[in-house]
């Protein structure tokens, strides 16, 4: 019965998306009942918006400071929404915004329904949602389901009153012997998944840091309490959550305590609740696992997906880096070939950089030894494991590579996630340590504190980047907005092109036979909307012959400039690409029969 | 049906112009039809023919003759797109090479799908496979001694042009490895055979088309190009490192060797046989030394390696191997390495190509191929870019690093996957490598003198 409300049984057929993304989708017209009016922009609501969206990851602390205290805040972000609208992004992803002792970047939540005071308050948050929605931008936020901070009142009550209402909210044991098969995630700081609490006189279970006790999902009251947390934010208008560390919700003896069926059952319950009351919201799973395992988090394909709407595709990112370093396509081809089909309404999230490091956590199985073999042999790539760098420094600030990487991000299957500052090619500060090096203030202008804050520079939460290449006087939003040739303008243009073609979000992916191993060519196809993407992974100019016989008669149109290329014939299609160059072509359907010659010129 | 007489005349001028025609430069004295079967009636029509081509004085029954397989298309009107395939006009009918006519080549696919028998031609589907016939073919532009038809992006049909009576080893091995479920060969779908000189003879085989694959040669030279652009970086530091690929290729090679041993068995040759083998290597070395004085500085070391092999006591285990193994015979697909063309060295007689040998002979072939790959840019068409370059010696040094690194990686992958450790059998490996290099010296001296320094250069290194 909930199905009728959600509309999930209507597949988005080609007819629904033949036009511009702004056009009303047929799937919405089919909706039987109205949904709560949470998206007040004049655009029609669309339960599948996330399949076409361009996401933008925002660190509130580092985005803009409205209060002059040296730390970014929600009102600062509100003041810069016009910029994000201009850039063309569809959805803001906020890192944790909740009250927290901040011992783990806010992933240690001490109150699920309060905003971290230095960011603002709930009133600011509601205003952010309203202002963002007015601009056609959605907002999702990180939410940690698996654990809380040890400062959370639930934990304090649990340890001091074992028989009270919260006594069973966490996983307690008289010994530290249970669940020995579960690996320790932070091997460098933790020696066990159990820690002793002298107040309660028992051990508590934690998959992450000792100050982050795991919630006990076997307790129905915990399951209900977390649903209540979700409803709280959804009622305020939030468009969804990135669910942090979802594989670890339940524990069972004799298992590795990851990806258990009980965990999936609970996520299905969450999804049902979201679909029932808030049908155009999105759940994005963070499961740093191999795609074949992650796909379980989309749920049952027969329903189009009944768990999380989205999940990150982690291996794509290191593979793109490796392919360009190796100057050959197989690192990418291989991972695309190993990526399973996902349910109709599910979508991958892909990224080049985010606030986390490049990780090989998911490649332990010997069948998946590619990354291990390649990275272990390569001192430079190995050095990048476990270090957080921004995109531009990783690519030696090479504009051609920055463009190629961004073009791949925007054209491979999945919804792209940009990391704040990468659109202007910001640098990092490795001397701040691996966590903070990529979290410096966004560089708005060449003025004091990069225009991020009016405070005394000494008061900034982190110093702005000041080196001669990436420093704020050279790299900032204002200068790049005024320069049509800037990376910022280029990125904006590419986002615009992507948004014009729903095929990038909905289309199938087929790699094309290409004569040159340094060239990755693929076709995205969604009904009559077809895009051919050709990428030169080498720094040297390369020719490539493509087998395009399936599109014989079509006349490729280059997406940036609209230039028509020679029509596709029976013979291999020859293209030449500059070093790290790429093309996006539309492949319009071949005319049924040759039209009469156009009128004489002049 | 036009008369054979006129057709034979036309073929005598058309055949020498074909890339797959082996006897170039010698006059054709006779073309005669050995077999002729109608595959498609009407216009366009298709006939399958086998002709015998004799080159030498007419009337001499001992003059050499070769068989060639032809697909002859017939049309009253020849469309422009087929003009380049034209053979000539006979009795008002255009005759052309029908391998280029997708309207006609489909009949090969349907024949195999149906398991048809047409005259002496036998079309067959591999048991358990199903062939999709709704596909259009394109004759592959790749330069080969056979003609390859790519059907859609599903199949590739290798049409053997010059025929040797007998079962083609590639088909024989592909059938056996398909049966054992090998992941390292292209899937086999069907084949065409006939009887020639009383022997069952393979005419064509239909395999999976590896649509997104690249051959190992291109991939390795991609890596070398990157190396030479960074003369100040070691081979293990540059982005285009090939060692991971070389290691996986070694593992795939060992796996296929094991599968071949399981399918065809392992036999052994006696110490006397090994001694004789070493003797043949020495004979070839003597021939080469006589022809190419540049070889002299290395002859003693090479001869010593062959002598070492001759001292081998006890039997040596042998099995079916690839036989003509190099980077051009392997394809990187999105799921790993695939081996192609188990035909053995094309110049050798069929019996020798099917004879069992030690698997390290394949390993030696691949290691020799690495030597060629690393020197191609310094020698091939792009060599002018590097001429008189002060960094030349540096590149030479890097090229050795690259060859050593990938040699080690290939051997490590080969051993880890269960193959005999090449470094533990260094006498054997060294003899195979030198024998191959001696052959290369002869070949280059005769055909590509500008390449002669490639095998000589690596001999200098390997004997140093």
Q: What is the pLDDT of residues A147-177, one digit of tens each?
A: 999 999 999 999 999 999 999 999 999 999 9
Nearest chain B Cα distance for residue A380, angstroms: 7
Chain B: residue whose CA lies nearest to A571: B138
Q: Do B332 and A330 touch (CB under 8 A)?
A: yes
Q: Give the pLDDT of residue A34.
A: 38
Percent of chain A with pLDDT over 90: 71
Nearest neighbour of A330 by CB, restricted to B226, B229, B334: B334
pLDDT (tens digit per residue) in B37-87: 999 999 999 999 999 998 876 666 666 789 999 999 999 999 998 999 999
User: With 60 as the cut, is the pLDDT of residue B268 above it?
Assistant: yes
Mind telling me the catalytic residues of A? 244, 286
User: With 80 as the cut, is the pLDDT of residue A597 above it?
Assistant: no
Nearest chain A Cα distance for residue B233, angstroms: 12
**Range in A118-132, B233-247, B310-324, B356-370 the model is least confident about:** B233-247
Tokens for A271? Answer: 């999804």
Instruction: Report the b/e string of A499-519 with b at 16+ CB within 10 A.
Output: bebbbbbbbeeebbbbbbbbb
Nearest neighbour of B219 by CB, restricted to A511, A517, A540: A517
Q: What is the distance between the alpha carbons of residues B327 and A419, in angstroms, rounded to a whole number? A: 42
Higher pLDDT, B44 or A598: B44
Nearest neighbour of B219 by CB, restricted to A328, A336, A374: A328
SS3 state at B172: helix
Give which of A80, A39, A41, A38 is closest to A58, Cα–Cα: A80
User: With 70 as the cut, is the pLDDT of residue A32 above it?
Assistant: no
Q: Is B252 on the interface with A (CB under 8 A)?
A: no
Nearest neighbour of B240 by CB, restricted to A327, A380, A514: A327
Q: Quote the ipTM score.
A: 0.80
User: With 80 as the cut, is the pLDDT of residue B198 above it?
Assistant: yes
Nearest chain B Cα distance for residue A516, angstroms: 7
pLDDT (tens digit per residue) in B351-372: 889 999 999 999 999 999 999 9
3-state SS, one letter per residue, for A77-103? HHHCHHHHHHHCCCEEEECCCEECCCC
Q: Give the pLDDT of residue A43.
A: 55
pLDDT (tens digit per residue) in A393-429: 888 899 999 999 999 999 999 999 999 999 999 999 9
Average pLDDT over residues B181-210: 96
| CB distance A508 to A477 below 8 Å | no
Q: Give the pLDDT of residue A599.
A: 44
Q: Give the pLDDT of residue A19.
A: 36
Q: Give the pLDDT of residue A26.
A: 38
pLDDT (tens digit per residue) in A308-325: 999 999 888 888 988 998
User: With 60 as the cut, is the pLDDT of residue A475 above it?
Assistant: yes
Chain A: residue whose CA lies nearest to B211: A513
The H or E element spanning position B273 is helix B271-291
Average pLDDT over residues B94-113: 96
Give which of B197, B223, B340, B127 is closest to A378, Cα–Cα: B223
Q: Give the pLDDT of residue A436.
A: 86
Average pLDDT value over all residues in chain A? 87
User: With 60 as the cut, is the pLDDT of residue A109 above it?
Assistant: yes
Q: Give the pLDDT of residue A384.
A: 58
Average pLDDT over residues A17-27: 38
Chain A: residue whose CA lies nearest to B135: A550
Beta-strand (E) ranges in A329-439?
347-351, 415-419
Q: Give the pLDDT of residue A376.
A: 60
| CB distance A152 to A204 below 8 Å | no
User: With 80 as the cut, is the pLDDT of residue A374 above it?
Assistant: no
Q: Is B276 on the interface with A (CB under 8 A)?
A: no
Chain B: residue whose CA lies nearest to A545: B141
User: With 80 as the cut, is the pLDDT of residue B3 above it?
Assistant: no
Residue bearing tokens 């609740």:
A273
**Number of Cβ within a 10 Å radius of residue B337:** 23
Q: Do A513 and B240 touch (CB under 8 A)?
A: no
Give the C-alpha distances (Å, rounded to integers) separating B454 from A517, B272, B379, B448: 25, 33, 8, 11
Chain B residues close to A337, C-beta within 8 Å: 334-335
Chain B residues close to A328, C-beta within 8 Å: 214, 219, 222-223, 240
Question: Would you give the distance in Å from CA B245 to the centre of its chain?
Answer: 21
Q: Do A547 and B153 touch (CB under 8 A)?
A: yes
Q: Give the pLDDT of residue A31.
A: 39
Chain A residues close to B222, C-beta within 8 Å: 327-328, 517-518, 538
Nearest neighbour of A327 by CB, restricted to B81, B211, B226: B226
Nearest neighbour of B241 by CB, restricted to A378, A511, A549: A378
SS3 state at B116: coil
SS3 state at A339: coil
Mutate to test the interface with B, among A323, A328, A339 (most CBs of B within 10 A): A328
**Range in A111-125, A267-281, B30-44, B233-247 the model is least confident about:** B233-247
Q: Is B141 on the interface with A (CB under 8 A)?
A: yes
Q: Do B222 and A330 touch (CB under 8 A)?
A: no
Average pLDDT over residues A43-62: 89
pLDDT (tens digit per residue) in B307-355: 999 999 889 999 999 999 999 999 999 889 999 999 888 778 888 899 9
User: With 70 as the cut, is the pLDDT of residue B229 above it?
Assistant: yes
- A→B contacts (Cβ < 8 Å), by residue, are 324-328, 330, 333-334, 336-337, 370, 373-374, 377-380, 511-518, 538-540, 547, 549-550, 570-572
The H or E element spanning position B136 is none
Mutate to test the interface with A, among B222, B401, B410 (most CBs of A within 10 A): B222
Chain B: residue whose CA lies nearest to A326: B240
Average pLDDT value over all residues in chain B? 91
Q: Give the pLDDT of residue B349.
A: 86
Q: Residue ranges of the alpha helices (H) in A36-149?
A: 60-63, 74-79, 81-87, 122-134
**Range in A365-379, A516-530, B442-456 the model is least confident about:** A365-379
Q: Give the pLDDT of residue B160.
A: 93
Q: What is the distance between the alpha carbons of residues A341 and B73, in angstroms, rounded to a whole number? A: 44
| CB distance A523 to A587 below 8 Å | yes
């Amino acid at each position: 019965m909930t199905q009728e409300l959600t509309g999930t049984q209507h597949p988005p057929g080609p007819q629904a998306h033949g036009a511009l993304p702004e056009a009303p989708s047929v799937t919405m017209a089919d909706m039987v009942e109205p949904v709560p009016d949470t998206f007040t922009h004049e655009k029609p609501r669309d339960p599948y918006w996330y399949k076409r969206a361009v996401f933008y990851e925002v660190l509130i602390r580092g985005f803009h400071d409205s209060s002059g205290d040296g730390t970014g805040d929600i009102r600062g972000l509100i003041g810069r929404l016009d910029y994000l609208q201009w850039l063309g992004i569809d959805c803001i992803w906020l890192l944790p915004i909740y009250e927290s002792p901040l011992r783990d970047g806010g992933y240690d939540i001490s109150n699920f329904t309060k905003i971290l005071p230095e960011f603002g308050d709930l009133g600011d948050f509601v205003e952010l949602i309203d202002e963002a929605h007015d601009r056609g931008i959605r907002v999702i936020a990180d939410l940690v389901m698996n654990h809380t901070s040890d400062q959370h009142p639930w934990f304090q009550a649990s340890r001091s009153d074992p028989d009270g209402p919260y006594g069973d909210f966490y996983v307690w044991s008289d010994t530290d012997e249970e669940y020995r098969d579960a690996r320790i995630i932070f091997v460098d700081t933790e020696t066990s998944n159990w820690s002793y609490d002298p107040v309660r006189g028992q051990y508590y279970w934690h998959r992450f840091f000792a100050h982050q006790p795991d919630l006990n999902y076997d307790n129905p009251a915990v399951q209900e309490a977390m649903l209540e947390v979700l409803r709280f934010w959804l009622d305020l208008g939030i468009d969804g959550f990135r669910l942090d560390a979802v594989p670890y919700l339940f524990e069972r003896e004799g298992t590795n305590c990851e990806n258990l069926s009980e965990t999936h059952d609970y996520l299905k319950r969450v999804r049902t609740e979201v679909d029932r009351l808030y049908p155009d919201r999105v759940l994005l799973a963070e499961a740093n696992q191999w795609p074949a395992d992650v796909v379980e988090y989309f749920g049952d394909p027969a329903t189009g997906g009944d768990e999380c709407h989205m999940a990150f595709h982690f291996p794509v990112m290191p593979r793109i880096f490796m392919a360009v370093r190796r100057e050959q396509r197989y690192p990418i081809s291989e991972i695309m070939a190993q990526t399973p089909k996902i349910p109709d309404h599910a979508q991958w999230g892909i990224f080049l950089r985010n606030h986390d490091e490049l990780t090989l956590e998911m490649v332990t199985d010997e069948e998946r030894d590619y990354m291990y073999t390649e990275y272990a042999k390569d001192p430079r790539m190995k050095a990048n494991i476990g270090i957080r760098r921004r995109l531009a420094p990783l690519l030696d600030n090479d504009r051609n590579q920055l463009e190629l990487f961004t073009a791949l991000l925007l054209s491979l299957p999945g919804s792209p996630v940009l990391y704040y500052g990468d659109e202007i090619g910001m640098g990092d500060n490795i001397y701040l340590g691996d966590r903070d090096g990529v979290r410096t203030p966004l560089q708005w202008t060449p003025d004091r504190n990069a225009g991020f804050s009016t405070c005394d520079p000494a008061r900034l939460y982190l110093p702005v980047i000041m080196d001669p290449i990436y420093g704020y006087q050279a790299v900032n939003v204002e200068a790049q907005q005024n320069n049509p040739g800037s990376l910022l303008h280029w990125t904006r243009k590419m986002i615009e092109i992507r948004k014009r073609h729903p095929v990038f979000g909905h289309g199938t992916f087929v790699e094309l036979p290409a004569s040159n191993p340094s060239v990755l060519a693929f076709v995205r196809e969604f009904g009559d909307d077809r895009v051919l993407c050709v990428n030169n992974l080498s720094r040297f100019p390369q020719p490539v012959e493509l087998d395009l016989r399936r599109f014989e008669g079509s006349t490729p149109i280059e997406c940036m400039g609209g230039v028509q290329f020679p029509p596709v014939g029976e013979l291999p299609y020859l293209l030449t690409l500059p070093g790290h160059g790429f093309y996006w072509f539309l492949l319009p359907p071949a005319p049924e029969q040759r039209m009469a010659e156009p009128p004489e010129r002049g | 049906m036009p008369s054979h007489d006129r057709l034979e005349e036309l073929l005598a001028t058309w055949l020498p112009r074909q890339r797959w025609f082996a006897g170039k430069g010698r006059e054709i004295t006779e073309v005669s039809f050995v077999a002729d079967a109608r595959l498609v009636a009407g216009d366009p029509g298709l006939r399958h023919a086998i002709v015998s081509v004799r080159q030498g004085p007419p009337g001499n029954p001992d003059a050499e003759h070769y068989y060639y397989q032809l697909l002859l298309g017939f049309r009253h009107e020849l469309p422009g797109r087929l003009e380049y395939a034209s053979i000539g006009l006979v009795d008002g009918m255009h005759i052309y090479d029908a391998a280029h006519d997708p309207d006609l080549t489909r009949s090969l696919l349907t024949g195999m799908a149906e398991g048809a028998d047409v005259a002496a031609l036998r079309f067959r589907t591999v048991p358990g496979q199903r062939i999709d016939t709704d596909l259009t073919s394109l004759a592959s532009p790749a330069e080969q001694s056979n003609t390859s038809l790519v059907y859609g992006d599903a199949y590739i049909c290798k049409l053997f042009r010059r025929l040797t009576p007998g079962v083609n080893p590639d088909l024989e091995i592909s059938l056996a490895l398909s049966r054992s479920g090998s992941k390292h060969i292209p899937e086999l779908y069907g084949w065409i055979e006939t009887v020639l000189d009383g022997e069952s003879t393979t005419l064509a085989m239909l395999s999976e088309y590896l649509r997104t694959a690249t051959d190992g040669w291109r991939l390795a030279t991609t890596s070398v190009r990157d190396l030479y652009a960074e003369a100040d970086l070691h081979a293990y530091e540059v982005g285009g490192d090939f060692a991971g690929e070389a290691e996986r290729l070694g593992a795939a090679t060992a796996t296929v060797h094991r599968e071949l041993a399981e399918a065809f068995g392992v036999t052994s040759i006696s110490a006397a046989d090994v001694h004789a083998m070493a003797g043949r290597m020495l004979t070839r070395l003597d021939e080469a030394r006589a022809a190419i004085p540049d070889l002299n500085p290395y002859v003693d070391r090479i001869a010593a390696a062959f002598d070492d092999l001759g001292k081998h006591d006890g039997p040596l285990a042998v099995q079916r191997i690839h036989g003509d193994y190099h980077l051009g015979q392997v394809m990187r697909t999105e799921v790993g390495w695939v081996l192609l063309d188990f035909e053995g060295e094309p110049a050798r007689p069929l019996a020798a190509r099917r004879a069992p040998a030690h698997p390290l002979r394949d390993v030696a072939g691949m290691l020799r191929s690495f030597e060629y790959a690393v020197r191609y840019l310094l020698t091939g068409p792009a060599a002018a870019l590097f001429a008189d370059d002060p960094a030349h010696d540096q590149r030479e040094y890097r090229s050795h690093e690259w060859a050593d690194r990938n040699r080690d990686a290939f051997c490590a992958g080969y051993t880890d996957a269960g193959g005999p450790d090449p470094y533990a059998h260094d006498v054997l490996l060294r003899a195979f490598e030198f024998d191959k290099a001696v052959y290369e010296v002869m070949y280059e001296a005769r055909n590509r003198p500008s390449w002669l320094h490639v095998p000589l250069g690596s001999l200098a290194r390997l004997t140093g």
